[in-house]
């Protein structure tokens, strides 16, 4: 059930498609880096299949240090989801609803997601199941639709890998950082039917999304050309906008925005659920539900005020800024500490066992 | 603050309950009547009967002398019993009983009548007024003998019921033409004739303090989950109300989520639908006096299936089913999307179409949302009026509706033709929903979508869609997720969800409902030439 949730949570990756000519190569590189991170995240989740990060961090580090440490990923949920929804809101305002206040779009989306989070993880998973085929269809259509233009504009991707591996690897950093969203695994693994399969599913989802990312990076460069692609704020949207299948079918971006909406909805609901549940566990509450309302409110404020405007948001996605913040701050710090504690405990346990 | 409110509510609830206990209403008196036993004296019994039944003119009492010596009385309700059966009973007791010449004791005639004289198949005994009267009401006659404190109840059913005809609200081109009627026994007989194994169990209980309605639920023992059966029995047993006149009363009492728009039980008039549901492991609830059976648990996919899907060949069945899903999406979303596109996203329309639509809207004095809501409400009113109208003046409403209102509204420039097309399309599509109660739910939601589309554009439509999906996904019908097998996604059950696979491919019952006995058809039944069973067992190839 959760498989699709995890998969859909990745949609924002599409918006940050690297627009360099070798973006597709960056996507491939990103896959390997991200796979490592997912293994780091999922590995521990699989070792504690019945517990959330908040619970096993207390087990590993002791009560108070564990609680303190688990606040870091909880804040990460808040920050990542707020950024996600901000990007979505900006895109919507830019492309469709030019006169609608951003706060309204964000507020409405968070409200709906909060409803889902309030209904529980089961409902989120089922909604994801229901939307997944539509989502997949939208992605496939958006990847297939530009194909007729490819033979004409194929020269746009030349020169291939002209600048060597350095830029390619640097381009891979942003997608890797976005993978920190997989931290949500640490909170929802106990709710899955087969926690053991979470890691495999997550890697599968990662593979699929990386493939989509590589494809879209290629198509963006081919359709728009490198200069236009680099200038565009939402390159994938601009690409789809440029597609005209026939006289009648020319506005395909509505499809993408819809699919993206599904993705953001599911992702934000999952983040909100995970955040509220985690916080409830930190605070020792029996149910997470009373936290949803206040958290959603904070979320809206965060999404609206954390960034001044669209350009600051896109600056955030610059490799130099997002990587230390997201990857190191939100994944490597808590997970590193936890893994360290786990390994030391395992080692000590073995020593005790031997003695 | 919250606690205070809770306390207040609790106290209020307690007061209401106390009130109910202290002031017994008429249904409590009914309970007392049940405790009034019959006497051994015939005259006293008859007096008591007239005291309870009052001056009702249809209670008819015929005194006679049974076996030539003991006084007796035959009580019946006029119009409910078959007069030939009554004559036969009287002949048995008055004429043929003369052959018995042993001198019986006072009251012994009752057992003699039961064992030797009466040639009626179904005879029961009653020892109180309440049972006696409820038996009289379903076409029994009561025999009271002097000296016996029990009455004999003989089934002499002779009241008129409707003939078994084609169900009016659920038509099918191919398939049986029988539909349920208002008689419970006739309805269960229709099921019995379709499923001829003893494992088809039909349990009954009486609901309604005043109406004493017989309610029966049928299931296949061993196929229906025991837990669900207990739940059905529990929920039905808890109902306390003065009367049950239709299965809709029960539906509201036994729903998992009472305030949802969506029907959580499938209501059907077709015995073939009930039989196929029983074969999947579901439970059917029949209410005496209602031609509508309830099938639980029900999911949204079962509500979107029509009998034709199963009787036509698989590709055709799948096609019409997909068509129906498309129609439902249209009926739900089209007005909302139209309003949103015209209001906010004109650029989404191809230029030629946009020019046409704008030209048609030229001179219309209302905003789009007003136009659409006007036509939608108009259509709903027309539909409602159409149901209530006698058949003779039915065509009149269509003339008024279609010609006068529709055509004149366009000519007068009050609404644009595009809106009329949209609403007409929506209306036609909404009639493709096979279950009426689901169609109503979708209609109400459609207004929500329309308003959201008018206020927030496609974004609003999307938000309402999300909200609807959240709601649908959180619904359960007797513990079964309402959206299964779509969400949670069950691949094995997809054979009978959006499309219908060949019968020989649907080898398993729906997982969540028929999980205890999953196998439905034998494997490997693909009908190919040269593959009849005899050859297959040889293990030869071609």
Tokens of B485: 């097998």
Tokens of B294: 């309830």
Q: How far apart are CA B329 and CA B425, in angstroms?
A: 12
- What DSSP character marks residue B105? P
Determine whether the interchain pair B469/A108 forms a contact, defined as Cβ–Cβ distance below 8 Å.
no
Chain B interface, mutation test: which of A88, A110, A112, most B Cβ atoms within 10 Å?
A112
Indicate the residue of B459, B470, B489 with minimum beta-carbon distance to A119.
Answer: B470
Nearest-Cα distance to chain B for A349, in Å, is 41
Nearest-Cα distance to chain A for B358, in Å, is 17
> Shortest CA distance to A100 belongs to which of A111, A88, A112?
A88
Tell me what percent of the residues of chain A surpass a pLDDT of 90: 1
Chain A interface, mutation test: which of B257, B329, B459, B494, most A Cβ atoms within 10 Å?
B459
Angle at B388 between CA B387 and CA B389, to 5 degrees: 95
Indicate the residue of A4, A248, A261 with minimum beta-carbon distance to B462.
Answer: A261
Q: How far apart are CA A318 and CA A41, in angstroms?
A: 24
Indicate the residue of B462, B470, B487 with minimum beta-carbon distance to A115.
Answer: B470
pLDDT of residue A11: 44
pLDDT of residue A353: 42
pLDDT of residue A316: 65
Q: How far apart are CA B466 and CA A112, in angstroms?
A: 7
Tokens 């994938």: give the residue.
A236
Tell me what percent of the residues of chain B surpass a pLDDT of 90: 30
pLDDT of residue B349: 82
Q: Which chain A residues are Cβ-neighbours of B350 within 8 angstroms? A: 247-248, 250
Say whether pLDDT at A12 is over 50: no
Of the two residues A303 and A349, the one the predictor is more confident about is A303
Tokens of B289: 């006096």
Q: Which chain B residues are Cβ-neighbours of A123 within 8 angstroms? A: 470, 473-474
Please state the ipTM of this predicted complex: 0.85
Rounded alpha-carbon distances, angstroms, from residue B249 to A67, A319, B270: 52, 64, 19
Tokens 């219908």: give the residue.
B500
Say whether pLDDT at A73 is over 90: no
Tokens of B379: 């259509």
Q: Which chain A residues are Cβ-neighbours of B462 within 8 angstroms? A: 258, 261
Nearest-Cα distance to chain B for A172, in Å, is 32
Determine whether the interchain pair B459/A96 forms a contact, defined as Cβ–Cβ distance below 8 Å.
yes
Per-residue pLDDT reduced to its tens digit, A232-261: 666 677 777 777 666 666 667 777 778 778
Per-residue pLDDT reduced to its tens digit, A151-183: 777 666 666 666 666 666 766 766 676 666 777
Largest separation between any pair of C-alpha atoms in chain B:
104
Nearest-Cα distance to chain A for B228, in Å, is 21
pLDDT of residue A229: 66
Polymer length in residues for chain A: 355
Tokens 């490597």: give the residue.
A332
Of the two residues B506 and B250, the one the predictor is more confident about is B250
Say whether pLDDT at B247 is over 70: yes
Q: Which chain A residues are Cβ-neighbours of B457 within 8 angstroms? A: 96-97, 100
Q: How far apart are CA A187 and CA A6, in angstroms?
A: 12
Tokens of A21: 């000519």
Q: Which chain B residues are Cβ-neighbours of A122 within 8 angstroms? A: 473-474
Say whether pLDDT at B151 is over 60: yes
Determine whether the interchain pair A100/B474 forms a contact, defined as Cβ–Cβ distance below 8 Å.
no
pLDDT of residue A265: 86
Say whether pLDDT at A325 is over 80: no
Say whether pLDDT at A329 is over 90: no
Determine the distance from the C-alpha atom of residue A105 to the mean position of all C-alpha atoms in its chain, rounded to a whole number: 20
Indicate the residue of B348, B472, B481 with minimum beta-carbon distance to A251.
Answer: B348
pLDDT of residue A72: 81
Q: How far apart are CA A144 and CA A152, in angstroms?
A: 15
pLDDT of residue A61: 79
**Nearest residue in A to B466, CA atom:** A112
Residues B426-442 have a mean pLDDT of 88
Task: Name every residue whose Cβ is closer than 8 Å to that of residue A134 and which is 6 or more positions away in sequence.
Answer: A259, A262
Say whether pLDDT at B184 is over 60: yes
Query: Which of A229-233, B266-270, B529-533 is the least confident region?
Result: B529-533
Q: Which chain B residues are Cβ-neighbours of A109 within 8 angstroms? A: 463
Q: Which chain B residues are Cβ-neighbours of A96 within 8 angstroms? A: 344-345, 457-459
- Cβ atoms of B434 and B303 within 8 Å: the answer is yes
Kind of pairing between the strands at B70-77 and B59-66 = antiparallel
Q: How far apart are CA B74 and CA B39, in angstroms?
A: 16
Task: List residues of B whose CB lies inside 8 A of any A CB.
Answer: 344-345, 347-348, 350, 456-460, 462-463, 466-467, 469-470, 472-474, 481, 483, 486-489
Task: Supply the DSSP string of B204-216, one letter for each residue.
Answer: EEEE-TTT-EEEE
* CB-count exposure of residue A298 (10 Å: 0-12, 13-18, 19+): middle
**Nearest residue in A to B344, CA atom:** A97
Indicate the residue of B345, B460, B469 with minimum beta-carbon distance to A127.
Answer: B469
Chain A interface, mutation test: which of B487, B493, B494, B497, most A Cβ atoms within 10 Å?
B487
**Nearest residue in A to B345, CA atom:** A96
Q: Which chain B residues are Cβ-neighbours of A112 within 8 angstroms? A: 463, 466-467, 470
Tell me what percent of the residues of chain A surpass a pLDDT of 70: 72
Q: How far apart are CA A16 and CA A236, in angstroms?
A: 9
Determine whether the interchain pair B473/A108 forms a contact, defined as Cβ–Cβ distance below 8 Å.
no
Task: List residues of A whose CB lies inside 8 A of any B CB.
Answer: 1, 4, 92, 96-97, 100, 105, 108-109, 112, 115-116, 119-120, 122-123, 125-132, 247-248, 250-251, 254, 258, 261, 265
pLDDT of residue B330: 92
SS (H, E, C) chain A: CHHHHHHHCCHHHHHHCCCCCCHHHHHHHHHHHHHHHHHHHHHHHHHCCCCCHHHHHHHHHCHHHHHHHHHHHHHHHHHHHHHHHHHHHHHHHHHCCCCCCHHHHHHHHHHHHHHHHHHCHHHHHHHHHHHHHHHHHHHHHHHHCCHHHHHHHHHHHCCCCCCCHHHHHHHHHHHHHHHHHHHHHHHHHHHCCCHHHHHHHHHHHHHHHHHHHHHHHHHHHHHHCHHHHHHCCCHHHHHHHHCCCCCCCCCCHHHHHHHHHHHHHHHHHHHHHHHHHHHHHHHCCCCCHHHHHHHHHHHHHHHHHCCCCHHHHHHHCCHHHHHHHHHHHHHHHHHHHHHHHHHHHHHHHHHHHHC
How many contacts does A have with B, using Cβ atoms within 8 A? 78
- Cβ atoms of B341 and B392 within 8 Å: the answer is no
Per-residue pLDDT reduced to its tens digit, B168-183: 888 888 889 999 999 9
Paired strand residues for B37: B128
Indicate the residue of A96, A132, A265 with minimum beta-carbon distance to B466.
Answer: A265
> Shortest CA distance to A131 belongs to which of A259, A35, A20?
A259
pLDDT of residue B402: 73
Determine whether the interchain pair B345/A115 forms a contact, defined as Cβ–Cβ distance below 8 Å.
no
**Nearest residue in B to A246, CA atom:** B350
Phi/psi at A158 (5° precision): -80, 150
pLDDT of residue A141: 81
Q: Count other Cβ atoms within 10 Å, centred on residue B390.
A: 6
Of the two residues B230 and A341, the one the predictor is more confident about is B230
> Shortest CA distance to B340 belongs to which of B422, B459, B420?
B459
Most confident of A57-71, A200-214, B303-317, B507-521: B303-317
Q: How far apart are CA A123 and CA B409, in angstroms?
A: 45
Chain B interface, mutation test: which of A113, A123, A245, A289, most B Cβ atoms within 10 Å?
A123
Say whether pLDDT at A204 is over 70: yes
pLDDT of residue A102: 84
Determine the distance from the C-alpha atom of residue B287 to the mean position of all C-alpha atoms in its chain, rounded to a whole number: 8
Task: Name every residue whose Cβ is closer than 8 Å to that of residue A221 and which is 6 or more positions away in sequence.
Answer: A19, A20, A21, A23, A24, A156, A157, A229
Q: How far apart are CA A207 and CA A213, in angstroms?
A: 10
Determine whether the interchain pair A96/B344 forms a contact, defined as Cβ–Cβ distance below 8 Å.
yes
**Nearest residue in B to A193, CA atom:** B488
Q: Which chain B residues are Cβ-neighbours of A4 within 8 angstroms? A: 489
pLDDT of residue A22: 66
Say whether pLDDT at B479 is over 90: no
Give the confidence band of A17 by pLDDT, cuts at 50, 70, 90.
very low
Per-residue pLDDT reduced to its tens digit, B206-228: 998 888 899 999 999 989 999 99
Beta strands in B79-159 (DSSP E): 123-126, 140-145, 151-155
Q: Which chain B residues are Cβ-neighbours of A119 within 8 angstroms? A: 470, 473-474
Residues A322-332 have a mean pLDDT of 64
Q: Which chain B residues are Cβ-neighbours of A115 within 8 angstroms? A: 467, 470
Say whether pLDDT at B515 is over 80: no
pLDDT of residue A77: 78
Nearest-Cα distance to chain B for A176, in Å, is 29
Determine whether the interchain pair B456/A129 forms a contact, defined as Cβ–Cβ distance below 8 Å.
no
Report the SS3 class of residue B200. strand
Phi/psi at B345 (5° precision): -125, 50
Query: Which of A108-112, B199-203, B494-498 is the least confident region?
Result: B494-498
Determine whether the interchain pair A108/B470 forms a contact, defined as Cβ–Cβ distance below 8 Å.
no
Say whether pLDDT at B294 is over 80: yes
Question: Mean pLDDT in chain B?
Answer: 85
């Amino acid at each position: 059930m959760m498989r699709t949730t995890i998969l859909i949570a990745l949609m924002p990756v599409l918006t940050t498609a690297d627009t360099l000519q070798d973006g597709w190569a960056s996507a491939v590189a990103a896959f390997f880096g991200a796979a490592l991170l997912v293994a780091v995240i999922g590995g521990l989740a699989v070792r504690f299949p019945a517990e959330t990060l908040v619970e096993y961090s207390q087990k590993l580090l002791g009560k108070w240090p564990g609680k303190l440490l688990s606040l870091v990923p909880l804040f990460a949920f808040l920050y990542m989801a707020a950024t996600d929804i901000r990007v979505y809101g900006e895109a919507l305002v830019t492309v469709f609803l030019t006169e609608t206040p951003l706060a309204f779009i964000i507020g409405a989306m968070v409200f709906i997601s909060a409803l889902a989070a309030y209904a529980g993880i089961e409902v989120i998973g089922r909604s994801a199941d229901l939307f997944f085929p539509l989502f997949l269809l939208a992605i496939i259509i958006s990847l297939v639709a530009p194909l007729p233009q490819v033979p004409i504009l194929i020269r746009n991707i030349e020169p291939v890998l002209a600048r060597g591996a350095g830029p390619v690897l640097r381009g891979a950093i942003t997608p890797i950082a976005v993978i920190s969203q997989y931290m949500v695994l640490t909170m929802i693994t106990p709710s899955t039917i087969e926690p053991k399969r979470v890691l495999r599913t997550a890697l599968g989802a990662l593979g699929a999304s990386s493939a989509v990312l590589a494809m879209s990076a290629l198509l963006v460069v081919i359709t728009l050309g490198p200069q236009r692609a680099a200038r565009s704020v939402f390159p994938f949207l601009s690409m789809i906008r440029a597609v005209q299948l026939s006289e009648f079918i020319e506005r395909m971006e509505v499809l993408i925005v819809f699919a993206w909406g599904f993705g953001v909805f599911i992702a934000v609901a999952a983040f909100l659920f995970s955040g509220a549940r985690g916080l409830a566990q930190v605070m020792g509450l029996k149910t997470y539900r009373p936290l949803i309302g206040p958290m959603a409110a904070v979320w809206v404020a965060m999404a609206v005020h954390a960034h001044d405007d669209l350009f600051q948001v896109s600056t955030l996605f610059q490799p130099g800024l997002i990587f230390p913040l997201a990857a190191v701050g939100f994944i490597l710090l808590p997970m590193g500490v936890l893994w360290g504690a786990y390994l030391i405990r395992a080692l000590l346990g073995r020593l005790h066992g031997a003695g | 603050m919250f606690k205070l409110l809770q306390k207040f509510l609790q106290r209020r609830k307690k007061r209401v309950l106390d009130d109910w206990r202290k002031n017994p209403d008429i249904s409590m008196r009914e309970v007392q009547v049940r405790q009034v036993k019959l006497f051994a004296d015939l005259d006293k019994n008859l007096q008591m009967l007239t005291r309870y039944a009052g001056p009702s003119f249809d209670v008819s009492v015929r005194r006679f002398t049974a076996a030539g010596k003991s006084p007796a009385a035959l009580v019946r309700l006029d119009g409910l019993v078959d007069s030939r059966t009554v004559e036969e009973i009287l002949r048995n007791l008055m004429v043929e009983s003369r052959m018995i010449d042993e001198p019986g004791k006072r009251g012994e005639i009752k057992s003699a009548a039961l064992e030797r004289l009466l040639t009626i198949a179904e005879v029961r005994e009653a020892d109180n007024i309440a049972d006696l009267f409820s038996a009289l009401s379903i076409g029994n006659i009561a025999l009271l003998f002097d000296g016996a404190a029990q009455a004999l109840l003989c089934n002499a059913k002779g009241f008129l019921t409707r003939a078994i005809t084609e169900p009016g609200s659920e038509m099918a081109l191919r398939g049986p033409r029988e539909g349920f009627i208002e008689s419970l026994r006739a309805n269960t007989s229709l099921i019995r004739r379709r499923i001829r194994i003893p494992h088809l169990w039909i349990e009954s209980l009486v609901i309604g303090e005043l109406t004493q309605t017989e309610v029966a639920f049928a299931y296949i023992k061993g196929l229906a989950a025991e837990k669900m059966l207990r739940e059905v029995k529990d929920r039905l047993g808890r109902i306390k109300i003065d009367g049950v006149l239709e299965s809709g009363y029960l539906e509201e009492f036994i729903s998992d989520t009472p305030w949802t728009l969506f029907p959580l039980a499938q209501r059907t008039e077709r015995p073939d639908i009930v039989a196929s549901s029983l074969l999947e492991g579901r439970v059917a609830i029949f209410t005496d006096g209602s031609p509508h059976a309830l099938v639980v648990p029900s999911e949204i996919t079962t509500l979107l299936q029509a009998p034709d899907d199963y009787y036509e060949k698989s590709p055709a069945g799948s096609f019409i089913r997909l068509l129906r899903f498309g129609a439902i999406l249209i009926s739900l979303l089209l007005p909302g999307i139209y309003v949103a596109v015209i209001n906010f996203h004109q650029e989404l329309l191809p230029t030629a179409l946009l020019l046409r639509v704008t030209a048609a809207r030229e001179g219309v004095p209302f905003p789009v949302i007003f136009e659409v809501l006007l036509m939608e409400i108009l259509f709903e009113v027309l539909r409602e009026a159409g149901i209530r109208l006698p058949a003779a003046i039915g065509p009149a409403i269509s003339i008024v509706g279609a010609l006068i209102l529709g055509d004149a509204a366009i000519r007068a420039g009050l609404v644009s033709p595009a809106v009329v097309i949209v609403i007409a399309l929506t209306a036609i599509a909404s009639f493709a929903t096979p279950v009426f109660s689901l169609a109503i739910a979708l209609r109400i939601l459609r207004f929500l979508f329309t308003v959201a589309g008018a206020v927030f554009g496609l974004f609003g439509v999307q938000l309402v869609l999300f909200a609807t999906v959240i709601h649908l996904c959180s619904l359960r019908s007797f513990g079964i997720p309402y959206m299964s097998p779509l969400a949670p996604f069950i691949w094995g059950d997809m054979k009978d969800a959006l499309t219908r696979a060949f019968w020989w491919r649907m080898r398993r019952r729906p997982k969540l409902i028929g999980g205890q006995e999953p196998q439905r058809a034998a494997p490997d039944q693909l009908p190919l030439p040269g593959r009849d069973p005899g050859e297959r067992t040889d293990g030869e190839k071609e």
